[in-house]
Each structure stands twice: as C-alpha cells, then as structure tokens.
Structure 1
Amino acid sequence: MNTHIDQAKRILAVNDRGGYTVPTDRLYPFQWNWDSAFVAMGFALYDIDRAYRELERLVEGQWVDGMIPHIVFHAPSETYFPGPNVWRTEQTIPTSGITQPPVFAIALRKLHEAAGKGAEERILPLYEAALKWHRWWYSARDPDGTGLVALLHPWESGSDNSPAWDIALARVPTDTDTPVVRKDTGHVDADMRPRDEDYRRFIHLVDTYAACGWEPARQWEKASFKVAEVQTSAILLKAGEDLEHLALLFGRTEDAIEIAAFNNRTRKAIMAQWRPELARFVSRDLISGEDVEAATQAGFIPLLSLDLDKQVADALVFEMKAWSKDLKVAFPTTKPGIASWEPKRYWRGPAWAIINWLLIDGLNRNGHADVAEELRRSTIAAIETEGFAEYFDPVTGEGCGGLGFSWTAAAYLWLERGALPA
C-alpha cells in the first residue's frame, strides 16, 4: 500500500473544517475557491459525497450576480490578512470581493463521471451555479466581448505576485486607507512571500473596489490594474468545454448553445495571443494595450483547452524543455535565469503541483504524453521526497511555503493514479 496516499488523505482530513477544506492550517484559515475545486477532485477518487460537499460549501458564498469569490469566510480567524472587515463586501456569508480561476466546472464534470448514474439531483444545483459564474465572467470581466477575460486584481489569477504583474502593478499607487497588517510572514519565511510594497498595492485595489460597492461596471471603470489573462482564459475555456458537455448530458440544449458560443469566442481570442518568437502565449495589459511578455507558466496553460497545430504544440514543448533543463523539479513558474526569477519566492519561480497537473492534462491533450509522463514523475518524486508542501524550489527540490497543503495532497492522489483524464 502506498503510504503517501494515506498521508494525502490524512492531510485532507486534518484540513477539513466541516464540509470545506482550508488550504493549510493557520496560513490560510478559510475556504479558497480554486483550491477547493482541486480538493474536490481529490476527494472524488475515494469519497464522492465529501467531494460534492466541498463544492456545495463553496457555492454558499456565491454572489447574486453569479460571482464565486476567491475566499469564503465561513468562520472567523485572526491568523489571516485581509479579513472580512477589509473586504467590506456585505454578503450574508462574509466573502472577499474578487474571484479566482474557474476550475469549479472542471471539477464538476470529474465528480459527475466519478459518481456515475443517478447523481443528477445533487449535481444540478452545482451545474446552475457554475453556469451563473460562467456568465458573470463574460459580462463582468469581458464587457467588450473580446473572448479574453480580464483580472482586476493580481490575486484573481491565483498566481498572486507573478512577474507577469510587475509592469501593470507598478502603476497601482501604494497609498491605502487600510493599515496593512501582514499575517502571512508570521507563518512563513518573508523571503518566500510577496514584498510589502506589493501588498500595499494589493490593498489599494481592494480599497478602490470597495469604494465602488463591488459593482462590476464601476470597478471596470476605476481599475488601475486590468489584464486580459491567458491562464485564466484558458482555464475558463476548459471549464466551458466541461459545462457544455454537462449541459448536453442534462438535455439543456439552449445552455449548450450559449456556452459553445462563449467557447468559440475564447478559443479564437487565445489563439490570437500566440507569439511564435517567444514560443508561448501572452496576456494583454488593457490599460497600456501592450502584450505582457513576462516569461511565466501562464504562457503554456492554453495547452489545457486548445487542440493546437502540431507546429505550435511542438514549439511550446521545446520551450518548456528549455526551461526545465537541469532543474530538480519542473515546471518553474518563471523562466530560470531571468532577472525576475526567484526559485523560492511564491509565484516567481517555484514549481506547483496543481500547475503541473494542468500542464500534464494539456500535454496529454496535445499529443505529448511522454513529456506529460516526465512531468508527472517529477512532481510525484518531489512530493514523496519533501512532503505535501505548498510549492517546491525547482533548483534544490526543497518544499517551501505552507506545509501539509490540501491541493498538493489532491494533486498527488490524481497524479499517482498515472492515468490522468484528458
């Protein structure tokens, strides 16, 4: 018996707070949006009821307009900043005011497939919630109908302090009405976390949107940070494919037609962000109109939801191999050796099991099963050597950030099975 599987399940049990899972104790004491979607897929392998419960608890925080926020504050905690009093969202259940990558519908399809027949009664409310959120993305974050959805805060990407935001974030003022009382650096070495100056900018944006009453059109107008992002758009497209599949399964023909139109628009828009000279996809800064050329993992995530021409897929894979050369753990979230590369600092270099999971799915989809298998083995070896860390230093292999991490445990459970779904 694989003792690491037992450990992974034990971590999910330890981080259970009554139907929802915290990412790790103390550092992240609430329910996080995309964390929970990955965790639900982990649970689906051995406890389908608990998998559904994870998503049901997340949906408790859904806003009337359809947004599923990035944090749901089910129970108070003093170990995290910014808490509900900073967000000021005035929801029935306190939540943050921004969102996170829409992995939810991807998880929903996996749950439905794991549950088998007769699960419709439980899945339909979740399907409705996913569809509402999907529509929110296109109305609130792509009001001009470009097909690419925009982020109004770096935290919405899930890659909070990625070099991808350096130029756009530098335009955001550092002044804030909210005292910045960091809690994260009390739990984790400050050298692994975002810098104080960035934190003030993050909170400046929160203050700005709270002053807009969190109304999407006013936020869009006032935003000093606005990036049409390829990683989020690619995840949204995969979620859209899975939603369309479920809609057809449930006989929701009109929904399926609506979702297919969104998917087509986004598919074309992401393809237009391919830059052969960089051998990756790029995001677009909507305030400057410039490409975001920062070399990060986001440029490879479109593998997940596009059926690429062989030439494009091969170019992406060739570039991925160049980034991974001589590293102990792939895949780095920033290109090694460039000025912004910091192998231990949060999203500025480290390898993350969930990013690898998305890339593995994308590599398999695009005919690179051998590279996918290499990345799978690298990820499993890192976890089995260092434990279920939040992320890994790609150079030394050291586990960094929070320990006993839920989504790393969930990723391990999937990756260890060997046969990842396409």
Structure 2
Amino acid sequence: MKILVVGGGGREHALVWKIAQSSRVSHVWCAPGNPGIARHAECVPIAATDIDALLEFALEQDVDLTVVGPEAPLTLGIVDRFRSAGLTIFGPSRAAARLEGSKGFSKDLMAKYGIPTAAYRRFTDRDEAVAYIRNQGAPIVVKADGLAAGKGVVVAASIDEAVAAVDNMMIAGAFGEAGAEVVIEEFMEGEEASFFVFTDGKNILPLASAQDHKQIFDGDQGPNTGGMGAYSPAPVVTPELYEKIVNKIVRPTISGMEREGCPYAGIIYIGLMIVKGKPKVIEYNARFGDPEAQPLLVRLKSDIVPVLLGCARGEMRQSELEWHDKAAVCVVMASGGYPGDTQTGFPISGLDDAEKIDDLIVFHAGTASKDGQVINKGGRVLGVTGLGKTVAQAIDKAYQGVKVISWEGAQYRSDIGRKALNRDN
C-alpha cells in the first residue's frame, strides 16, 4: 500500500512513524512533513491546506490511503474532495468536522442529545455577551466559536478578564472569523482527561486513556497552549469511568451525528472534565490530539493501518486494540515566547544524543532544516517521548531526553505526568 499523510507536526510524525511499521505499507509520503518525518517518509512540499495540490498529487501517485492529521484541511473539506475523486481517505467530512470547527455547533449537538457538558450560551453581539458575563459572574469560560490552534479558550478568573477576552475575540479580531461568534460557558472544576475513539460512523473502537497539559507553565498556570505534554495511561480514567464515557458520551455523539445527517468517520478526540467522578465534555476535536497522539501511538501494539482503512471505507470490523504494557510520557519543548510571539530560527543541539537513549523517541513538530542543521521553526518544536514500566519511569526517561536537547530560548514544563503520580500516592 502507498499512503499519504497530510500535515507536518508532532502528531503527523507519530502517525508516520507508526504507519511506516506496517508490513502492509510499501511507501509513505508526508505533505509537507518536517526533518524528523523525513527519516520515515518522503516529504513533499505541499501545504496541508492546499487541497487542489494534494488531490492532484494523490491521483498522480495512485495513493491507496490518505490520512489527514490536522484540523484545518478537514474543515476545508479535503475528505469530500478526495472521495468525490474516488480516493480513500481517513477523516471526517466537512459537515462532520464542524464538531471541532464550530464550538456552537458541538454545544448545540450535546444539548440536543443529552450529552453531559457545561451550561452555555452563544453570542454574535459583543454587548449581549458582556451583559451575560456580568450576570453570571466569574470564574467563567470564553471560547472563540471557530478554529484557533488551541488558543481560542480563556478560563477567566474575573469578570474583567472575561470581558477582555470577548473584546479580544470579537472587537480586536485576534482569531479572525473564528472569533466573530463566542461561546460562553460555566466553569467546570475537576481533572481533565483525553478520550479517543476510532469510528466508521456506526462502530466504535476506543483507544487507551491519556491526559494532556494545556497551560504553558508548571502547576497548570498561565495561558492555554496547543498542549505542553501528555501521558498514557491516565489513571483518572478508571474502568467504571471508561464505561460511562463510552455509553453516555461516545455512543450518543456518534448516533447524534448520524441523525443530524452528517455521520462521523475517522478519529474523534473528546476533551473531558471529570467532575466529582462524572465525565463532562469540554470540547470535541476531529482528529488525533497533539501531543496525546505521541504517547498513544508509541504504546499501540496493533497495526494501525487496517483500522485507518476500516474507518475510511465505512467497514471497521476490529473490536479491540492491543497495547504495550508500558506507560509513555511526552514532554513538549517549545520556542521562547510561546504561546505568544515565538523566537525561531535557532539551531537545535543534542538530537543525536537523545536518539541514543533507549526507550526514547523524539517527535518533531515545529522544526526545519537550514544549512544542514535542524532549527526551531514553530511554537511547539519537539515532543520528547519516553517509555517505562510505570508512569514514573516514563517521566524520568522523557526528561532524560529533554536535558540533552537545547536551543536558544527553549522552554518546557517540568511537571508533565505528576498528576498520575499524585493519584497513585
């Protein structure tokens, strides 16, 4: 089989790394890819959002399966275009991708089908939004309706902070059209978890549990990011909670999407808040999480290609996945200034030394090549992923790798996975 992976971040590096291990695969391309991905696949210089060029390439190369990594091409309708051309592609349709592309759409779906989530209101008028905030009080959550690269959510501790978030989105246009409408939600207090499910639109195949770390600083402080690290398994998801998530959230979501006339096929990422032992949906994503994909795919023992094909063809027959018994922890190393204006273009040292460490994999996200050196190019640069018999050992392994890698301004959290250790104690 010949496979094309669309994207060029850490999630796509992990997907390419896993796909390339399949005995069914003869060739892997990645568009646009990155220097790390180039070790496992042939990178082609086509942007993930250039649907016309991607379609032309897939037809020319007679690609058997295209796997879409990031959300932007999904919301632009890449799946619909490829299927219209007779190509097999993994990911939800444009209509189904609204589950991530519009916070308002997803909240309305949850309300309609009784899926537990925070109370909310949608606003297109700034003054009405501010009046609602003043009436509700703080803490309160303000979300841009559309895609904002994981940065369009503000958990406001005060009314003034919430109003400033509304003005930043609706008046200043910080996220463009994505912030023209906002969703304002009640604040939920609890512990977050990430839950992933493969689906062909009817059948579901849940993955192992994982937990992300959204805030930039230790102790979950500072602004939200795209994710500063993740680990799997996440002990917060007990077997009892797992069943609740599947029956009260996953199945109603998939059946609800089918009833709405936009069946969902691909992988669905459900961001959860565990409130007093009960799961509530924070948000949906229409693709693998990043950085959760890194520890999950490192732990996945099963061949991923038959699952991707089954979802893409609407005929997923697999009933379970096999997992390595080791834990995995991914620590994100980011550029200075992230999640604001980033400082990029600096040579990265220590990558060769990190690769010599057993049970350690360095996934590239925001990297590029310049004059024979790997440099930092984006906000989140590397996902340093360690394996261990326990979460504690996996943490030690990941930070062993982090300590040998450096570039000017590099930053990372020092407490990734600590919640799992605290729960064990």
Fold equivalence (TM over 0.5): no
| TM-score where L is the length of structure 1 | 0.29
| TM-score where L is the length of structure 2 | 0.29
Structure that is richer in strand per residue: 2
Structure that is richer in helix per residue: 1
